[in-house]
Amino acid sequence: MATITLKNIPDDLHRRLKESAAQHHRSMNKEIIARLEEQLMPPKRDTDAKLAELRTLRRQLPVYATPEEIDAAKDEGRP
């Protein structure tokens, strides 16, 4: 793992980081890493929850076509 050093941190920011670290029961270092990960790392996807959400949305749509109907519609009018 790499190591970095932060310099010239404004006093107010330092105080807020220290308070946040205490609230989350983390060291300052772990708090800074957690904050950086929140901002820079893509969120982990809950694929099961997303799939359930999409299935619910599909049931709410007024029209539903089977894959066969979609293929037939694509081919309609083609020689």
User: What is the tens place of the pLDDT at every residue in 15-51?
Assistant: 999 999 999 999 999 999 999 999 999 878 889 999 9
Structural domains in the chain (count): 1
Asked if residue 5 is part of any domain, the answer here is no
**pTM for this predicted structure:** 0.54
Nearest alpha-carbon partner for 36 in 71, 64, 2: 2
In a domain, 26, yes or no: yes
Compute CA 57 distance to the chain's CA centroid, rounded to the nearest angstrom: 20
The 3-state secondary structure of 12-68 reads HHHHHHHHHHHHCCCCHHHHHHHHHHHHHCCCCCCHHHHHHHHHHHHHHCCCCCCHH
Q: Is residue 15 part of a domain?
A: yes
Domain that holds residue 36: 11-40
Distance CA 35, CA 7 (A): 17
In a domain, 45, yes or no: no
